[in-house]
Chain A
Amino acid sequence: MPQVGTVKQQDFKTCDQSSFCRRNRAYADRASADPNFVSPYMVKEDSVLLKDGLLSGELINSQNQHLFVFELHLLENSISRLRINEKSPLKPRYDEVKNFALARELPNTLNYTERPINTKDHDSLTKTSIYFGNKKQNMVVVHHSPFRIEFLVNDLPIVAFNDRGFFNFEHLRIKKQAKDNGDQTSDESSSEDAEDEYGSWEENFNGKRDSKPNGPESIALDISFPGFGHVYGIPEHASSFSLKETRGAEVGYSDPYRLYNLDVFEYELDNPMALYGSIPFMMAHRKSASAAILWLNSAETWIDIVKSKEDKHGLSSLLYFGKKLPTSTHTHWISESGIMDIFVFLGPTPADVFRQYGSVTGYTALPQYFSISYHQCRWNYIDQQDIDEVDLGFDTNEIPVDVLWLDIEHTDGKKYFTWDPAKFPDPKKMQNSLSVKGRKLVTIIDPHLKRDDGYYIYKESKELGILVKELNGNDFEGWCWPGSSSWIDYTNPAAREWWGSQFKLDKYQGATENLFVWNDMNEPSVFSGPEITMPKDIIHHNAWEHRNVHNVFGLLVHSATAQGLRNRTPISKRPFVLSRAFYVGTQRYGAIWTGDNMAKWSHLAASSPMLLSIGISGISFAGADVGGFFGDPDIELLVRWYQTGAFQPFFRAHSHIDTKRREPWLFGEPHTTRIRNAIRERYALLPYWYTVFQEASETGMPVIRPMFVVFPEDEETFEIEDQYFVGDSLLVKPIVTEGQTSTEIYLSNNEIYYDYFTFDPVRGSGRIKVDAPIEKFPVLLRGGSIIPRRQRIRQSSALMRLDPLTLLVGIDQNGEAKGSLYMDDGETYNYQNGDYIHRNLTYSSYSKLISTSFPISGDNTNFVKSIKDVRVERVIIIGLSKKPTKILAYHNDENNEVNNNQGLTFTWGQKDVLGTGVTFTNTNDQVLVIKDPKVLVWRDWTIEIVF
């Protein structure tokens, strides 16, 4: 059922209106309906060759005898990669996206064994089976006729290709002449004719024509996850975290999930429609197994999902021992053009999958420290005075902020890299007055250029010939904010290089080192174009049609900008660039946000599943506009949104030009205090957030983690999307319903938690009721965790740099806890040479809190020197069973205690002292607060608690 809403559904295609999607869905329907259907693709028997971890061979389509080549790579890290192309295509098919999306090409593993052919087993004659992986725990089986591939881990099937026979590779062809009678449709319905049906060689949508000179060239494949009831990922959609079925299900969608970067105005929730970004990565999870696939293709892509209870692989006997049949998930991937290039990540744990996926596509770049604090944006802060007043407003209201943002109106006539001379006469002065407080400025730089020869960016790029072209060779012209516009062709390396150089401080007039960048509208958004984007038949570098590169275009804008910022100073600083469009690998370049959401409770609720989906697909540094972009939030919604945003990775308030002002202090008390508290909590936790980001940058673990990732064996968690972990220590459940003052939070495994704000213990298993008055919302510290905080609130994160730390220790049932602390200069790449500190924090059952160093490589110590006096000023330990008699602290390489023998001052059972900042009444008196142990953060130290 189409939903009634604000988005103009008719502006965007359904599968039925996209001819290649329609054809492949019809192909799947024929295959499913015919019990005698057999996939026509077969391996040419004499063609198969296994060498150096690569199984290669040829495929033949037995219906038309067309030949294809396939390469099955067995890679390190339990990864496999299947590539299929036509053997001799009429002209090259697009295969360049790998150069943009992948961080590196992994080498083939040599750790594999081919299963010998058993001549007695007839079946084994027509398939190739190879064991691979460190313990040879993985196996791939290539069935020759029909062509079909299975991946198994520990002998259990995990992923299957062409299991249902939907594999369809439309070869390039020459257009047939229309028949004399002018009748182009055929009565026969063979697949070959279907590919020449109406829409294959020309397509119209809403009066816009796609000339399709190459005719039909789609690729499609069914991918099954046997025994997996849940699949996740393929952002960006405003949909549930555990993906819904798209065909024939009672609860589900009628259209496939679509991946096609689009600027969708006031997007609808619970919908498979395409949004601003696309990551064709899908993860499947069940008890004891996780796996994922990456469908590396940057053309328009549709994914159908159905689930079944069939037991095709005999799984029930293997997994469930006769209990009810397991659910399997079957997907159908359909892309408009390009070649087939699929990665399979075999897990078996969620953490393994993230590490494997990151080893191919890159891990989250370690962000600048300031960029994970609070951002204040609006369309638009209208002039320099406005910026000054907002800046001052934060100070007078004692609210920290790091970044003020300028939207499109700051420019001279929407010409990016310029300033409106009347409103921003002295942008450097403005940035310098922000930087005195450690604050930054972000300006918007969009990829569309006003066609005005007086505009140097346009003029230069036109003369360099680096603009996207029409079929006839003219520069493409479309409509965007400045009116008639052209677009840089970011697929051209020279164009990216040139674009990056525009950020040099002697090029971008009015910019200082203190200015960072926001790339909006990079789907790209073209108001006059089909579906508000570029026509598919316009031409990019190396004569590739836009249809091939559409989904990666935004990433290229983002990466060129990030590289430009990185190169603009003699000593490279980490860039901060926010992008709206994204693709596989975006995590290497910067942050993204969920686009133009609305000031509605439902959109606040949707932010969690959306960010979880984006996060497991590689992009941890993501957020949703706090307050909602369109419309005016009431104050309760705004307060709840701040509380939620403070616990999401990218924390920025933003609002539309038609909305009322909503800076945090404009609503009066008690609201200002509530918002102030939320923002201050983010600042207090910055050392923790930064440590979690560092982990993500090395392991691929998402910064915010779905419940199933933390509790992979607990089936109850598999569908949970309204609560999540920040790192592995804080469990967060945002309040997203009006008037709500309590909620239920799901706890797994009967572990102990502590209310983060009151230190009250929370125990239990299952759904536990917790209070959520408007002043706070459920954040639980997981028992067994140690998290670092900085409780001295400053005007910005930069001014907290040398402040002492507080350690918050929550003891688990065994009387233990652990955590870590990572610190570096927060802006350069010196950490890559070892200039950081990384501490292992443990509280053992021997009642010692110990800080030891992670192994550090390199000997660059500038940063370490700069923080040599930074100390731990407070330790809060929750969950001790009795009052200590004495507490001692010492650096491990010194015999003497830091303090005298009388021990440290501490309080027991009263939280409301020693500056804990906790003000809620509670019933937990088992709180120990140790005053100023004076141990230095960079050294090994021990705090000994004597009972």
Chain B
Amino acid sequence: MFRKERGKLLNIKSFLSRGTYFLLLFTCLLEADAKVSNNNTIATNRLRGIPKSKIHLYEQTDADWACLDGSARIPYDAINDDFCDCTSACMNGRFYCENEGHIPAYIDSFRVNDGKCEPECCDGSDEYDGKIQCPNSCEQVGAEHRERLREIARIQAEGARIKREYIEHGRKLRSEQQANLERLQVELAAAEARVKERKEALEKAEEEERKQKQLNTKTTARREALKKCKERVESLHERIDKLHENIDTLLKIFRDLKNDHNQNYHDMAVKTAIAGYDEFLKEYENERDENLSDELDDEDNDNEDNEAEDITPPGHSLEKDESSLLGSIIDAAKSTYNDIMESIGLDVFTFSNGTKQKSAVSGISKEVIAVRDSLNTAENEQREIENHINDINGKLARDYGRNDEFAKLDGECFEHGTGEYTYSFCLFGRATQRSNKDYSSTDLGNYGRWIGAESQDDPAYYTKQIYEHGVKCWNGPARSLKVTFECASENKIVAVSEPGKCEYVMKMKTPAVCPDGEEDKNNQKNAGAHDEL
């Protein structure tokens, strides 16, 4: 309701601005002329740069003539006497070129008689005061133009055909997903019931077991110790992961600082930090190398990635090395764990890459385990259904364009190289920039929204997207990418650039924005809906 009213307001506004523009067209006509009309009440020899349809405005009804902008009355003779009498006509006027053989055009009147042939006026009529002779090239220009139009029409027709497929795909997808959603909701109700049932069963089984346990407390102490130990190892494990992540983050911050810092700052603090980073990195790498060679000596080492390392590109070696380092830390933790296990008289069992094996000596009754397993299964099922529902809801809520024409492209990824960098992005997903030198990649942001126009009713609304909140620039904003779509018969990135620091723009061709009959019909329908309000 609200949105529609707003739309209406904007329509009025845009009408007004069109009106203003029209007014300007009229006022310009003064510096103008056209070689037309037999109407003897019009000084046709004086009039230039006016379309035939407007000639009547210059009809002589009086000795004086009123400027079309109302700014003054001037003698009729003063029309087009190379002097600007009507205020707004002087700077803001437009000049009309007939361009016979091509299409007519308006140019700014300040481009008339400036000693330069305007490409828009192929008939050369814009230079008439003798400074320069402009040739009439309308025949050739017109022919080229018509050829170009035909080519555009062909591409647009092909694009529109594909777009209709996209729309059809989007429609199908939407109805399929709606159907799926309904089905899943039924399934979800069943799953929820199952979970509830099994929870009750488990409670019952556990209650019985507790009674049993009281009979046998001998091993409890050991079991408790074991449990604590396990917890401790787990939390250490998590702690290592966390620290490792932190190191990664810090290294990345420093790498960015080093790459992106502005040398013009001559900032000693920054320079010192970078020097420190270089030093640390060297030491860190040495240490890792040592750990790595230690590991390689260890025959029991089950690191599957080792072999892969030789064929990893240099840019990725860091990550691999770090995981080796992590491996060695875990190995150390494992052996400690096993020592503890031995010391308390329990059988040694092993970790496999952090995944625990089920204990054979837990002492829990088979019944309880079975019930618990079946509860887990039911809970997992429920979660899976919920995730699925969320996923579908997310997609259904996503704005794929006026007729879901972009649904087909959701998740499709494209790449474009510019020499120094390769840019890639997945529609409605993530955009990245990859260096072609060192293959390091930089996050340019995730899909944000459509930004082609302020109002969704504006046809331009679905021609531009922003991907935002990428990695923050040193001394600049968080990186972002604006993608502008243009009609074509295939999907292709045609240009990427960085006009402002860390603000990237991309031009992409796609059938999804080609003009089609559908859209116009919808527009009419929408307009009808507004009128009913």
Give residues in A with beta carbon < 8 Å to B.
8, 11, 265, 382-383, 385-386, 398, 422, 436-438, 481, 527, 532, 596, 657-661, 680, 791-795, 799-802, 873-874, 905, 912-915, 917, 919, 931-932
Given contacts A11-B268, A799-B115, 7 further A-B contacts (CB under 8 A): A265-B265, A382-B497, A383-B497, A422-B419, A596-B264, A661-B503, A932-B83
Instruction: Report the bound CA distance from A11 to B271 in whole Å.
Output: 13
Stretch from B85-93, B332-340, B395-403 forming part of the interface with A: B85-93
Centre residue among B85, B419, B420 by max chain A CB count within 10 A: B85
Instruction: Report the bound CA distance from A804 to B347 in whole Å.
Output: 105
B213: chain A residues at CB < 8 Å are: none
Instruction: Report the bound CA distance from A680 to B90 in whole Å.
Output: 13
What 1/0 mask marks residues of chain B from 107 to 135 whose CB sits below 8 Å from any chain A CB?
01011001110000000000000010000
- Which of B110, B262, B499 meets A792, CB within 8 Å? B110
Q: Is B207 an interface residue (CB 8 A)?
A: no
Q: Are A436 and B116 in contact (CB under 8 A)?
A: yes
Leading 10 A-B pairs by shortest Cβ distance: A915-B84, A422-B419, A799-B114, A915-B90, A661-B500, A658-B501, A932-B83, A660-B500, A658-B475, A913-B72
Q: Is B495 an interface residue (CB 8 A)?
A: yes
Q: Are B85 and A915 in contact (CB under 8 A)?
A: yes
- Which of B71, B263, B498, B500 meets A527, CB within 8 Å? B263
Q: Is B476 an interface residue (CB 8 A)?
A: yes
Q: Given contacts A660-B500, A873-B83, is CB(A398)–CB(B110) below 8 Å?
A: yes
Instruction: Report the bound CA distance from A661 to B75 in whole Å.
Output: 48
Chain B nearest CB from A271 CB (Å) reads: 18
Q: Are B476 and A658 in contact (CB under 8 A)?
A: yes
Q: Are B500 and A659 in contact (CB under 8 A)?
A: yes
Chain B nearest CB from A638 CB (Å) reads: 15
Q: Are A912 and B266 in contact (CB under 8 A)?
A: no
- Of chain B, the residue at the smallest CB distance from A915 is B84
Q: Are B500 and A793 in contact (CB under 8 A)?
A: no
B365: chain A residues at CB < 8 Å are: none
A436: chain B residues at CB < 8 Å are: 116
Instruction: Report the bound CA distance from A659 to B78 in whole Å.
Output: 50
Instruction: Report the bound CA distance from A673 to B265 in whole Å.
Output: 35
A917: chain B residues at CB < 8 Å are: 90-91
Instruction: Report the bound CA distance from A596 to B264 in whole Å.
Output: 11
Q: Are A265 and B84 in contact (CB under 8 A)?
A: no
Q: Are B418 and A422 in contact (CB under 8 A)?
A: yes
- Of chain A, the residue at the smallest CB distance from B110 is A793
Q: Are A794 and B266 in contact (CB under 8 A)?
A: no
Q: Are A11 and B266 in contact (CB under 8 A)?
A: yes
- Of chain B, the residue at the smallest CB distance from A918 is B87
Chain B nearest CB from A386 CB (Å) reads: 7
- Which of B85, B267, B420, B497 meets A385, CB within 8 Å? B497
B419: chain A residues at CB < 8 Å are: 422
- Which of A657, A794, A799, A913 meets B85, CB within 8 Å? A913
Q: Is B81 an interface residue (CB 8 A)?
A: yes
Q: Given contacts A527-B263, A660-B500, A661-B499, is CB(A8)–CB(B83) below 8 Å?
A: no
Q: Can you sample 29 A-B contacts with CB below 8 Å?
A: A11-B266, A11-B268, A265-B265, A382-B499, A383-B497, A385-B497, A422-B419, A481-B263, A527-B266, A658-B473, A658-B475, A659-B500, A659-B501, A660-B500, A660-B503, A661-B499, A661-B503, A794-B114, A795-B111, A799-B114, A799-B115, A874-B83, A912-B87, A913-B71, A913-B85, A915-B85, A919-B87, A931-B83, A932-B81
B78: chain A residues at CB < 8 Å are: 905
Instruction: Report the bound CA distance from A786 to B85 in whole Å.
Output: 22
Q: Are B495 and A385 in contact (CB under 8 A)?
A: yes
A11: chain B residues at CB < 8 Å are: 266, 268
B420: chain A residues at CB < 8 Å are: 422
- Of chain A, the residue at the smallest CB distance from B260 is A658
Q: Are A658 and B262 in contact (CB under 8 A)?
A: yes
Chain A nearest CB from B230 CB (Å) reads: 52
Centre residue among B71, B83, B419, B503 by max chain A CB count within 10 A: B83
- Of chain B, the residue at the smallest CB distance from A801 is B115
Instruction: Report the bound CA distance from A422 to B418 in whole Å.
Output: 8
B476: chain A residues at CB < 8 Å are: 658
- Which of B83, B85, B266 meets A265, CB within 8 Å? B266
Q: Are B87 and A915 in contact (CB under 8 A)?
A: yes
B75: chain A residues at CB < 8 Å are: 905
The number of chain B residues with a CB under 8 A from chain A is 39
- Of chain A, the residue at the smallest CB distance from B476 is A658
Q: Are A386 and B499 in contact (CB under 8 A)?
A: yes
Instruction: Report the bound CA distance from A875 to B116 in whole Å.
Output: 27
Instruction: Report the bound CA distance from A93 to B421 in whole Å.
Output: 55
Chain A nearest CB from B508 CB (Å) reads: 16
- Of chain A, the residue at the smallest CB distance from B498 is A382
- Of chain B, the residue at the smallest CB distance from A596 is B264
- Of chain A, the residue at the smallest CB distance from B475 is A658
Instruction: Report the bound CA distance from A576 to B351 in whole Å.
Output: 76
- Of chain A, the residue at the smallest CB distance from B111 is A795
- Of chain B, the residue at the smallest CB distance from A389 is B499
- Of chain B, the residue at the smallest CB distance from A479 is B263
Chain A nearest CB from B486 CB (Å) reads: 15
- Of chain A, the residue at the smallest CB distance from B109 is A792
Instruction: Report the bound CA distance from A873 to B264 in whole Å.
Output: 51
Instruction: Report the bound CA distance from A236 to B70 in whole Å.
Output: 53
B115: chain A residues at CB < 8 Å are: 799, 801-802
Chain B nearest CB from A100 CB (Å) reads: 28
Instruction: Report the bound CA distance from A180 to B265 in whole Å.
Output: 46
B266: chain A residues at CB < 8 Å are: 8, 11, 265, 527, 532
Centre residue among B75, B115, B262 by max chain A CB count within 10 A: B115
Instruction: Report the bound CA distance from A795 to B111 in whole Å.
Output: 7
- Of chain A, the residue at the smallest CB distance from B418 is A422
Q: Given contacts A383-B497, A793-B91, A799-B114, is CB(A398)–CB(B108) below 8 Å?
A: yes
B87: chain A residues at CB < 8 Å are: 912-913, 915, 919
What 1/0 mask marks residues of chain B from 484 to 528 whose CB sits below 8 Å from any chain A CB?
000000000001011111010000000000000000000000000
Chain A nearest CB from B84 CB (Å) reads: 4
Centre residue among B75, B114, B263 by max chain A CB count within 10 A: B114
Chain B nearest CB from A433 CB (Å) reads: 11
Q: Given contacts A398-B108, A795-B111, A799-B116, is CB(A386)–CB(B85) below 8 Å?
A: no
Chain A nearest CB from B78 CB (Å) reads: 8
Q: Are A795 and B501 in contact (CB under 8 A)?
A: no
Instruction: Report the bound CA distance from A793 to B75 in whole Å.
Output: 25
Q: Are A914 and B265 in contact (CB under 8 A)?
A: no
Chain A nearest CB from B29 CB (Å) reads: 15
Centre residue among B87, B262, B263, B503 by max chain A CB count within 10 A: B87
Instruction: Report the bound CA distance from A873 to B476 in whole Å.
Output: 51
A801: chain B residues at CB < 8 Å are: 115
A794: chain B residues at CB < 8 Å are: 110-111, 114
Instruction: Report the bound CA distance from A661 to B475 in whole Å.
Output: 15
Within 8 A of A (CB), among B241-280: 262-268
Q: Are B131 and A802 in contact (CB under 8 A)?
A: yes
Chain A nearest CB from B421 CB (Å) reads: 11
B83: chain A residues at CB < 8 Å are: 873-874, 914-915, 931-932
Within 8 A of A (CB), among B22-76: 71-72, 75
What 1/0 mask marks residues of chain B from 83 to 107 whose CB sits below 8 Å from any chain A CB?
1110100110000000000000000
Q: Are A914 and B84 in contact (CB under 8 A)?
A: yes
- Of chain B, the residue at the smallest CB distance from A661 is B500
Chain B nearest CB from A937 CB (Å) reads: 15
A386: chain B residues at CB < 8 Å are: 497, 499
A532: chain B residues at CB < 8 Å are: 266
- Of chain A, the residue at the smallest CB distance from B67 is A913
Instruction: Report the bound CA distance from A792 to B115 in whole Å.
Output: 13
Q: Given contacts A382-B497, A661-B499, A915-B85, is CB(A795)–CB(B114) below 8 Å?
A: yes
Chain B nearest CB from A399 CB (Å) reads: 11
Centre residue among A8, A382, A436, A792 by max chain B CB count within 10 A: A792
Chain B nearest CB from A428 CB (Å) reads: 19
Chain A nearest CB from B97 CB (Å) reads: 16
- Of chain B, the residue at the smallest CB distance from A911 is B87
